[in-house]
Amino acid sequence: AQSVTQLGSHVSVSEGALVLLRCNYSSSVPPYLFWYVQYPNQGLQLLLKYTTGATLVKGINGFEAEFKKSETSFHLTKPSAHMSDAAEYFCAVSSNDYKLSFGAGTTVTVRA
Amino acid sequence: GAGVSQSPSNKVTEKGKDVELRCDPISGHTALYWYRQSLGQGLEFLIYFQGNSAPDKSGLPSDRFSAERTGGSVSTLTIQRTQQEDSAVYLCASSGEYNEQFFGPGTRLTVL
């Protein structure tokens, strides 16, 4: 069984500031890890994923995440926030089966 | 189109009525998933189809919920005798390699 914990249901950042969204997971097998973004009234869009190999994963829109096995973490970062980054972000984990287990989500607001 | 499509985008129904929600996956994707997104429960897995295998229905919340996938492509999620707690956004996803799930825009169901 897997589970995901996203620390902080709401994050507010200034435009141009670092965005850091925290995700910790538990999994009994090597996980596949994902970050999705959801804009208002839209479905989920894949930002990036980790399966195997390089632990620093780069995604779309300037986001990246690092898989740290020792910390069971997969935190999402972006060096400089843009107004268009305002959305809800979901971390998800999947083992060697097919179900995604999602975190509760983190809503990001960007202050001008 | 290139993405997952769902219809209708919005559905308002009266308590006790049956509803059908439709999903058209990405062409060539063999796996199809239904999720439910609600304020109280977050994102929940409902059901999974993979090729011609028996579907995994372990996430369906009650026997009022059922789903089928015809010809390995289009899927229909049916909710019988709808209740107010069924109000949610129902998301469909399809996947190919590495369980990278691509989501549709969702159907927002409101039960009055």
| Minimum Cα–Cα distance from B101: chain A residue | A46
Q: Give the nearest chain B residue to A48 (CA atoms).
A: B100
Angle at A71 between CA A2 and CA A102, to 5 degrees: 30
Distance CA A15, CA A58 (A): 21
Q: Of A84, A76, A93, which is closest to residue A31 (Cα–Cα)? A: A93
Half-sphere exposure (CA, 13 Å, Cβ side) for A41?
2
Of the candidates A32, A104, A105, the beta carbon closest to that of B98 is on A32
Phi and psi based region of residue A30 (left: phi greater than 0; alpha: psi -120 to 50; beta: remaining): beta
Contact A36, A89 (CB under 8 A): yes
The rounded distance, in Å, linking the Cα atoms of B50 and B28 is 12
- What residue type is assigned to position B83 of the chain? Q
Calpha distance B111→B14 (Å, rounded): 5
pLDDT value at position A99?
81
The pair of structure tokens assigned to B89 is 């956004």
- What average pLDDT does this structure show over A38-50? 89
Q: What pLDDT shows up at residue B1?
A: 54
Residue A97 banded pLDDT, cuts 50, 70, 90 = low
Contact residues, chain A, for B35 at CB < 8 Å: 100
CA distance A82 to B31: 35
> For residues B11 and B108, is the Cβ–Cβ distance under 8 A?
yes
Q: How far is A22 from chain B (nearest CA, A)?
A: 17
Bridge-based pairing state of the strands A3-7 and A19-26 = antiparallel
Task: Please tell me the predicted confidence (pLDDT) of residue B41.
Answer: 78
Between A98 and B26, the higher pLDDT residue: B26
| pLDDT tens for each residue of B16-38 | 999 999 999 999 898 999 999 99
Contact B43 A90 (CB under 8 A): yes
pLDDT tens string B53-105 = 889 998 999 999 999 998 878 999 999 999 999 999 999 999 987 667 899 99
Measured distance CA(A7)–CA(A18) in Å, rounded: 16
